[in-house]
Amino acid sequence: MTATTLPRGDSATEPDPPHDEPAGAPPTREGRRPAATAGRALGLGVVGLWLSVIVLLPLAALTVRSFDEGVGGFWDAVTAPVALAALGVTLGVSAVVALLNAVMGTLVAWVLVRDDFPGQRVVNALIDLPFALPTIVASIVLLSLYGPNSPVGIHLNATRWALVVALTFVTLPFVVRSVQPVLIELDREVEEAAASLGASNLTTFRRVVLPTLAPAVISGTGLAFARAVGEYGSVVLIGGNIPRETQVVSQYIQQQIEIDRPANAAAVSVALLAVSFLTLFVLRVWAGRNQRKEARSS
Amino acid sequence: MISVTDARKTYGDFVALDGVSIDIPSGSLTALLGPSGSGKSTLLRSIAGLEGLDGGVVSIAGVDVTHQPPQKRGIGFVFQHYAAFKHMTVRDNVAFGLTIRKRPKAEVRKKVDDLLEIVGLDGFQHRYPSQLSGGQRQRMALARALAVDPQVLLLDEPFGALDAKVRADLRRWLRRLHDEVHVTTVLVTHDQEEALDVADRIAVLNQGRIEQVGDPVSLYEKPANDFVMSFLGSVARLGGQLVRPHDIVLERDRAAAFEADARTPGSPGVVTATVERVVRLGFEVRVELRADSGERFAAQVTRAEADRQQFGPGETVHARATRPADATEVDPALAI
Amino acid sequence: MRTSRGTTLALRSVALVYLVGLLAVPIGVILWRTFEPGVGAFVASVQTPAAISALNLSLLIVAIVVPLNVLFGVVTAIALARWKVPFRGVVQAVVDLPFAVSPIVVGVSLIMLWGVTGWFGGLESATGVKVIFGLPGMVIATIFVTLPFVVREVEPVLHEIGTEQEQAASTLGASGWQTFWRITVPAIRWGLTYGVVLTVARALGEFGAVIMVSSGFPGVSQTLTLLVHSRYIDDHNTYGAYAAATLLMGLALVTLLGMTLLDRKRSTR
């Protein structure tokens, strides 16, 4: 598996495919066949209805219901001290996890591409495990090692470190899988050119390799951050759910539903959604700008 | 001077360099010529230190550099696909070697601007490599390699990725540049025309070995063996020997052909053949023939000669060689 | 760049220690904990009525979700790749949206729409069909989180193969359906299969969105993931939780193996 399970940050900014008929073009063969046109209209209707019922309507209901008690109610729900604390813990831990991923993910990708050792293929396949493993299993797996009965004597249960470990576990593939293909495609001659001009390995990496990898590292890191912010399953057992300490936003929302405060839950959900969307939006704009820069200059 | 002694390199079962020794004089422009897989690129890359040798010695200007990394060899290297630093401007690309040596900014700027002027890229300082044409990119790569004042300039198929017109322009330009800068230059190419055009010395490689080293004229006129002969220019097989198509004379008159042939010692003899096709290529005319033995070959004659004799398809002619190429004075043993 | 032997070994060690500490050791420990009391204990633990019912429910959800995703996913992919779609950019973004939404937020949103007090709450009082806290809710939640997979695997393949083959088929007299079944389907089959495998893996493993809309009664409305959770939290049956997790992990490993093999097939197609 490659980065196929990652959100495709660039798909919405994609230019229309070239075989798309330009507006005002003479009707094509299919265009003249009424049956085909009717079929397409039906197909489009079905797609629109499906996406609306499954994705759009629930999110619309969520957004509208979050303002059930007015803008003031929304604001009070989001700025309740415990909610703010949960938001703070979530963002702080996610930022640490994202940075850890940026460094270690790049390093792991480098070793997987440039190094050659027995068992490398197994290690490479192992990287995808966190994507294949159910999050609740991830939680209990980490609990068995770092939990109350830790066989190695490391007790992270109900600490922020537990959150870091759990979120690092589930976000591991993002940076590795976004950097790996770039590293494989990297023109080795460019590194040789730098060496022939007298650059040491460190200089070559810092000034020639890293600038090329940077977009992939940043996009992988951003995706990991967005995933970490909304994560629930992997922290539910090991995180401890202690308000103001280790409770993350998703746990806070779940708690609000349990104590029958749906409006609060909806309001904080909208805030959480906003954080995720903002992250992905910034990434997309930035990736689009990079792409345009490349397109303009080539 | 670059001196390579008994260089050996294998990749698994493949022998890339099979005991290669060559001396490259200071200030020369030497072409390493050979088909793909002949080891010419491996030889160049091992001079640069980009490839380690399994055995043998490389020395540059009398210093044994066999075990030195490329960073310390004082070389400039130009790659076939430019190896441009895509995220840097043209100026930063050319300045790279100087910047990492922490030279003063003003000096770097002046040197870079001077070099860009020499390679004809003045005014392109702030462009990115992707905004340049292939030829411009390669000139930028050359300026980048020259910026660090290398002792030797190594070019690996530098014009291979360019189209024919740009390629011809650039190699003339490289020749002029070399006459100005006089840096010892080694150029790898598989294109014999390019080697003959630009180099003052050519080393022909085949299967990891050097077949012959010499100046372009002597290589063309006195090739050491069939491989060198057929690799440098076109050949025709006449009476079992390799001859240049332009050394073939066609006569309608059988007696005249034999008489003239008798005056050429060591010639392959007269071959009677049927004209299959006459192709006019501007100044020259190619006559495609089939010998009575069934072997096909082509002769190249001047337009005047073709007009005089009026060859037409189906006609019988008598072919002889004015100069048997195999009978070289260098090595009479090779003359069959 | 050629790194020295020392640097290479140092980088390799750091990477391997990181991966072993983060992935291999925890998984080794849980396997050891599961099988330490013997295989019999494991088998007994995953054969309790609650466990069997959880496995059945998980598989039932997969069996409902996969065909729906294949059908609507392929139509969506064809629409995006081949047809003139109004607001294409918006549609693309909506397809990607589920990746960006926290599972808990998915659950809350579904409650807001389908719950008794939600927009569609009238449906439940009118027909008596329980969506939230019933099977339909769990199915819808699973569809939400798996919606992008098939589209995102099939659409690029459609772009890649282009329209030439389909046009060639139509010039040879094939009808629209014939072209679809004989040209398009064989071309997208590996991408589609890959999308289905991802869908199955995610459907089996989804936890956050499902727990929000399930009543969570053992033996009735618990999926495998909910079973792991409730055994650990409610029953304090740590061993049972390990055993159920190991079962899920086994399914995940089979998926991973399938993904690796399919990925090779896909790229050498």
Q: For B276-289, what is each residue's pLDDT tens digit?
A: 999 988 888 999 99
Residue type, C136: P
The pLDDT value given to residue C267:
65
Percent of chain C, pLDDT > 90? 52
Q: Is A129 in contact with C228 (Cβ distance < 8 A)?
A: no
Q: Does any CB of chain A come closer than 8 Å to the CB of residue B152?
A: no
Please state which CATH class domain A70-297 belongs to. mainly alpha
Domain enclosing residue C10, as ranges = 1-36
Token duo for residue B260: 């003239």
Chains touching B (at least 3 CB pairs under 8 A) are A
The pLDDT value given to residue A1:
35
The pLDDT value given to residue A125:
85
* Closest alpha carbon within chain A to C176: A36
Q: Which residue has the tokens 């010639």?
A: B267
Residue A10: pLDDT over 60: no
What is the rounded distance in angstroms from the CA atom of residue B49 to the CA atom of residue B69? 6
Across-strand partners of B237? Answer: B242
B contact residues 49-68, partner A, Cβ 8 Å cutoff: 50
Nearest alpha carbon to residue C151 among A277, A14, A5: A5
Residue A6: pLDDT over 90: no
Cβ atoms C267, A4 nearer than 8 A: no
Residues C61 and C1 in one domain: no
Cβ atoms B88, B109 nearer than 8 A: no
Q: Which residue has the tokens 């330490």?
A: C36
Among A186, A191, A197, A202, most B C-beta atoms within 10 A, so best to mutate, is A197
Answer with the residue of higher pLDDT: B122 or C129.
B122
User: Any idea what the Cα angle at residue A55 is, between residues A52 and A56, rounded to 5°?
Assistant: 55
Q: Is B141 in contact with A193 (Cβ distance < 8 A)?
A: yes
Q: Is B79 in contact with A193 (Cβ distance < 8 A)?
A: yes
Cβ atoms B48, B154 nearer than 8 A: yes
HEC-encoded secondary structure of chain A: CCHHHCCCCCHHHCCCCCCCCCCCCCCCHHHHCHHHHHHHHHHHHHHHHHHHHHHHHHHHHHHHHHCCCHHHHHHHHHHCHHHHHHHHHHHHHHHHHHHHHHHHHHHHHHHHHHCCCCCHHHHHHHCCHHHHCCHHHHHHHHHHHHCCCCCCCCCCCCCHHHHHHHHHHHHHHHHHHHHHHHHHHCCHHHHHHHHHCCCCHHHHHHHHHHHHHHHHHHHHHHHHHHHHHHCCHHHHCCCCCCCCCCCCHHHHHHHHHHCCCHHHHHHHHHHHHHHHHHHHHHHHHHHHHHHHHHHHHC
Give the mean model confidence (pLDDT) for residues A25-46.
Answer: 65
Q: How far is A231 from chain C (nearest CA, A)?
A: 6
Q: Is A196 in contact with B101 (Cβ distance < 8 A)?
A: no
Give the mean model confidence (pLDDT) for residues A106-117.
Answer: 94
- The CA R_g of chain B, rounded to the nearest whole Å, is 24
What is the rounded distance in angstroms from the CA atom of residue C216 to the CA atom of residue C228? 12
Confidence of residue A248 (pLDDT cuts 50, 70, 90): very high
Within 10 Å of residue B328's Cβ, how many Cβ atoms? 18
In chain B, what residues touch A200 (CB-CB under 8 Å)? 71
Residues C139 and C6 in one domain: no
Residue C132: pLDDT over 90: no
Nearest alpha carbon to residue A223 among A163, A283, A269, A134: A283
Q: Is A169 in contact with C23 (Cβ distance < 8 A)?
A: yes
Cβ atoms B245, B298 nearer than 8 A: yes
The pLDDT value given to residue A231:
94
Confidence of residue B261 (pLDDT cuts 50, 70, 90): confident
What is the rounded distance in angstroms from the CA atom of residue C238 to the CA atom of residue B143? 69
What is the rounded distance in angstroms from the CA atom of residue C262 to the CA atom of residue C247? 23
Q: How far is A221 from chain C (nearest CA, A)?
A: 14
Q: Is B144 in contact with A193 (Cβ distance < 8 A)?
A: yes
Give the mean model confidence (pLDDT) for residues A251-273.
Answer: 94
Within 10 Å of residue C196's Cβ, how many Cβ atoms? 22
What is the rounded distance in angstroms from the CA atom of residue A28 to the CA atom of residue A37? 11
Answer with the residue of higher pLDDT: B243 or C13.
C13
Q: For B31-86, what is each residue's pLDDT tens digit?
A: 999 999 999 999 999 999 999 999 999 999 999 999 999 998 989 999 989 999 98
Residue C15: pLDDT over 90: yes
The pLDDT value given to residue A3:
36
* Closest alpha carbon within chain B to A201: B71
Q: Is C249 in contact with A141 (Cβ distance < 8 A)?
A: yes
The pLDDT value given to residue B29:
95
What is the rounded distance in angstroms from the CA atom of residue B72 to the CA atom of residue A189? 18
Domain ranges, ordered by start, for chain A? 30-63, 70-297
- Looking at every residue in chain B, the average pLDDT score rounds to 88
Across-strand partners of B185? Answer: B29, B153
Residues C152 and C26 in one domain: no
Size of interface A-B (CB pairs under 8 A): 66
Residues C72 and C26 in one domain: no
The pLDDT value given to residue C11:
94
HEC-encoded secondary structure of C108-168: HHHHHHHCCCCCCHHHHHHHCCCCCCCHHHHHHHHHHHHHHHHHHHHHHHHHHHCCHHHHH
Answer with the residue of higher pLDDT: B95 or C267.
B95
Residues C15 and C104 in one domain: no
The pLDDT value given to residue A18:
42
Q: Does any CB of chain B come closer than 8 Å to the CB of residue A37?
A: no
Residue type, C247: L
Cβ atoms A151, C5 nearer than 8 A: no
Chains touching A (at least 3 CB pairs under 8 A) are B, C
Percent of chain B, pLDDT > 70? 96
Residues C45 and C17 in one domain: no
Backbone dihedral angles phi then psi of residue B291, each to the nearest 5 degrees:
-70, 160
In chain A, what residues touch C94 (CB-CB under 8 Å)? 51, 55-56
Answer with the residue of higher pLDDT: C194 or A104.
A104
Confidence of residue A297 (pLDDT cuts 50, 70, 90): low
The pLDDT value given to residue A27:
39
In chain A, what residues touch B75 (CB-CB under 8 Å)? 196
Within 10 Å of residue C216's Cβ, how many Cβ atoms? 17
B279 Cα distance to chain centroid:
28
* Closest alpha carbon within chain B to A209: B85
A262 Cα distance to chain centroid:
26
Across-strand partners of B320? Answer: B249
Q: Which residues of C226-238 are buried (b: 16+ CB within 10 A; e: fewer)?
A: bbbbbbbeeeebb
Residues 6+ apart with CB under 8 A from A174: A6, A101, A105, A220, A221, A223, A224, A227
Give the mean model confidence (pLDDT) for residues A119-141.
Answer: 89
Q: Does any CB of chain A come closer than 8 Å to the CB of residue B131?
A: yes
Residue A31: pLDDT over 70: no
What is the rounded distance in angstroms from the CA atom of residue B68 to the CA atom of residue A243? 61
Nearest alpha carbon to residue C66 among C136, C134, C139: C139
Residue type, A291: Q
* Closest alpha carbon within chain C to A133: C252
Nearest alpha carbon to residue B251 among B281, B267, B273: B273
What is the rounded distance in angstroms from the CA atom of residue C153 to the CA atom of residue C201? 15
What is the rounded distance in angstroms from the CA atom of residue B316 to the CA atom of residue A226? 84
Q: Out of A11, A59, A134, name the one closest to residue C92 (CB).
A: A11
How many domains, in total, are found in chain C?
Answer: 2
In chain B, what residues touch A292 (CB-CB under 8 Å)? none
Q: Is C1 in contact with A209 (Cβ distance < 8 A)?
A: yes
Q: Does any CB of chain A come closer than 8 Å to the CB of residue B171?
A: no
Q: Is A237 in contact with C232 (Cβ distance < 8 A)?
A: yes
Give the mean model confidence (pLDDT) for residues B232-243.
Answer: 83
The pLDDT value given to residue C241:
92
Cβ atoms B78, B161 nearer than 8 A: no
Q: Does any CB of chain B come closer than 8 Å to the CB of residue A187?
A: yes
- Interface confidence, given as ipTM, is 0.88
Percent of chain A, pLDDT > 70? 86
Exposed, middle or buried: residue B325 (CB in 10 Å: 0-12, 13-18, 19+)?
Answer: buried
The pLDDT value given to residue B323:
72
What is the rounded distance in angstroms from the CA atom of residue B23 to the CA atom of residue B201? 11
Residue C55: pLDDT over 60: yes
The pLDDT value given to residue A240:
85
User: Any idea what the Cα angle at residue A286 is, between residues A282 and A292, rounded to 5°?
Assistant: 145
Q: Does any CB of chain A come closer than 8 Å to the CB of residue B48?
A: yes
Residue A15: pLDDT over 70: no
What is the rounded distance in angstroms from the CA atom of residue C72 to the CA atom of residue C95? 11
Residues C11 and C91 in one domain: no
In chain B, what residues touch A189 (CB-CB under 8 Å)? 79, 81, 83
Q: Does any CB of chain C come closer than 8 Å to the CB of residue A55?
A: yes
Confidence of residue A296 (pLDDT cuts 50, 70, 90): low
Residues 6+ apart with CB under 8 A from A9: A219, A222, A223, A280, A283, A284, A287
In chain A, what residues touch B130 (CB-CB under 8 Å)? 294, 297-298
Give the mean model confidence (pLDDT) for residues C141-146.
Answer: 96
Q: Is B79 in contact with A192 (Cβ distance < 8 A)?
A: yes
In chain A, what residues touch B128 (CB-CB under 8 Å)? 297
CA dihedral (A189, A195, A198, A200) positive or negative: positive
Q: Does any CB of chain B come closer than 8 Å to the CB of residue A201?
A: no
- What is the strand order of the sheet B271-281 is part of? B248-251, B316-321, B271-281, B284-291, B296-302
Ranges A54-58, A171-175, B233-237: which has the least confidence: B233-237
Q: Which residue has the tokens 């030889």?
A: B43
Q: Does any CB of chain A come closer than 8 Å to the CB of residue B36?
A: no
Among B47, B130, B137, B142, most A C-beta atoms within 10 A, so best to mutate, is B130
Cβ atoms C108, A76 nearer than 8 A: no
In chain B, what residues touch A187 (CB-CB under 8 Å)? 81, 83
Ranges A14-23, B209-218, C75-84, C207-216: which has the least confidence: A14-23
Residue B239: pLDDT over 90: no
Which of left, alpha, beta for A131 (phi over 0: left; psi -120 to 50: alpha)?
Answer: alpha
Answer with the residue of higher pLDDT: B22 or B247.
B22
Q: Is A266 in contact with C90 (Cβ distance < 8 A)?
A: no
Give the mean model confidence (pLDDT) for residues A47-51.
Answer: 93
The pLDDT value given to residue C268:
56
In chain A, what residues touch C212 (CB-CB under 8 Å)? 254, 257
Residue C130: pLDDT over 70: yes
Q: Does any CB of chain B come closer than 8 Å to the CB of residue A197?
A: yes
A contact residues 108-127, partner C, Cβ 8 Å cutoff: 108, 110-112, 114-115, 117, 123, 125-127
What is the rounded distance in angstroms from the CA atom of residue B195 to the CA atom of residue B193? 5
Q: For A55-100, what is each residue's pLDDT tens digit?
A: 999 999 999 999 988 899 999 999 999 999 999 999 999 999 999 9
The pLDDT value given to residue B281:
85
The pLDDT value given to residue B331:
42
* Closest alpha carbon within chain C to A101: C18
Residues C163 and C100 in one domain: yes
Residues 6+ apart with CB under 8 A from A54: C140, C143, C144, C147
In chain B, what residues touch A199 (CB-CB under 8 Å)? 71, 96-97, 100
What is the rounded distance in angstroms from the CA atom of residue B150 to the CA atom of residue C107? 67
Residue A23: pLDDT over 50: no
Pairing of strands B29-33, B55-60: unpaired
Q: Does any CB of chain C come closer than 8 Å to the CB of residue A277?
A: yes
The pLDDT value given to residue C126:
83
Residue type, A131: F
Q: Is A43 in contact with C94 (Cβ distance < 8 A)?
A: no
Domain of C204, CATH number, reads: 1.10.3720.10
Q: How far is B264 from chain A (nearest CA, A)?
A: 53
What is the rounded distance in angstroms from the CA atom of residue A167 to the CA atom of residue A165? 6
